[in-house]
Structure 1
Amino acid sequence: MTSQTIAILEPGYAAYDTEASVLAKQDVQIAPVAPETEAVPALQALDPVGILVRERTVDATVIDACPNLKVIVRYGVGVDNVDLEHARSRGIFVANVPDYGAEIEVSEHAVALYLSVQRRIPSRDAEVRRGEWGIGQSAVIPNRENGVLGLIGCGKIGLEVARKFRALGFTRVLVSDPYMPQEAARMAGVEQVQLDELCGIADVISLHAPLTSETRHILNAERIGMMKPTSIVVNVSRGGLVDETALAEALHDGRIFGAGIDVFEQEPVSRDNPLLYAPNTIVSDHAAWYSERSVVMLQRCAAREISKVLSDEQPEHWVNKW
């Protein structure tokens, strides 16, 4: 039997032994396609039956380069980089990995960004290293006693963020999530409110929603304008949820206190992105999901979805259903 190929677009892990072990009984070969390699000719040469992808775009042209393609699996939750409709039209399964356990890592990263912004840790570090000492009037830190957390989207990660913020003394958690049942909100001890109300009340707004046509720029200039001058924005979800220019302008004008940003509309982030130069803003490189534990779990779960399809089963987390 001829070996089948699984292509990995934009490989970024140290090794693919985990995927190979999961797929060992199915006679496949794993072929990474380097980020600097043009996807279409590489895939035409490989003729893969499966694609594993991180952030690289899998559009109709990429999909049509693979005549025998059966399944595309996204390493992670968001699938906005995959043309779901075109894959559906060709009968190609698209799956994601929503349950690889990274809610611990992502929620921890959200809290770390918040604390770094709230306590001005990077600027204090830089000033001490420059030989400066003492907190001046320009380094005012707002009081967060009995603080209010606002969650835009509230799945497993949002609930874990809420739990950790409560441990920091936040006494209310507001949620804007049209897909969260009332009973689930009640059991979790969170308050469901309209998004505009959340923006006007919350001390910290943390985003945990998928990126869709409805959620793109859900935090826009108008809603940023509703926020308190002491508010902090934290985004560990998808960059496109936030109007980056509007957020940067609000930070420069002092209309909000700070921001902690792990994700950007364009990644890797462009050097001219205004958030890189906004005051009291902490940035990281889409790393909230990462730990040694979460990488292994993510690779294993993604490979299992490939394995199911090659065994003539539906993927467990099938996102473009027909």
Structure 2
Amino acid sequence: MENIEKLFGMLNEHAEKIEKEHNITLLEGILDGLEAWLDGEVDFSQDGATKEDVRKAIQIAVLKGMRKGSQPNHQMTPDTLGLLVGYFVEQLFAERLETEKISILDPAVGTGNLLLTVMNLLDGKIEATGVEVDELLIRIAAATAELTEQPVSLFRQDALQDLLVNPADAVVCDLPVGYYPNEDVALDYELCASEGMSYAHHLFIEQSINYTKDGGYLFFLAPTHLFESEQSKQLHKYIQKHAWIQAIIQLPDTMFANKALEKSIVILQKQGKEFKAPKEVLLAKVPNMQNKQALAMFFEKVKMWQEGK
């Protein structure tokens, strides 16, 4: 914890100084600090600091920068959710991870916090690709990946347009929620709305399946009401045609500031000739994270489901 505090303190001090001197946002000041660190102009290193210490220190600084700014698309996936996603990636790829690396795509990588949380958890076992349209966020992701020594290829573009990436073993994605403004691009999707604008989160699900190998898994942080909206019937039909629902994990209400922001982890498997639908879909709710006994029971339930697959 001491390393995290020291790293954050130095990065934050640099960012605030640059913010005032150059009349830029705190988030831009943080990026300046990260890139200066990489270029050797400053040194925030701490003896004994782990990759997770570095990621967490950067995360705290970036969160502060986001709260001070007002960009609605500047949001970060909390650590707890990233660790839960990482846990399920580890469970579903357990056998393969014993002998080989897996490839992961995050088509809405943002600052990279979700992807790098998973990569640090499974350190050395993942080669990753991230896509992000926002230049500031992807530069923060690139600097953080380099400082945590994680192999990530990053592409700055609209992830719903054609991607120059290979299909991945897995997708992790904190789905961007809302309407997608580019209706010409949306027309190429099966999940394009028949009337009005299409949901970006639906199109991200379709695009993610497009760039997943047959039998690969997709781990989405999705709005809890995903299957209850006016376009959900179309989404149901699409998923039945292309994927199998493996699990829907409801997250504790206490994690979210209000009900409208509540999310679940939705795990899909892309259909393929050599693969079979699951015998049982895991439906579970993560208990309050402070309740250790209830958490132990939750993980036991997941383990029993995994063993019965």
- When normalised by structure 1's length, the TM-score is 0.38
Structure ranking higher in helix proportion? 2
Structure label with greater radius of gyration:
1
Greater relative contact order (CA < 8 Å, ≥ 6 in sequence)? 1
- When normalised by structure 2's length, the TM-score is 0.40
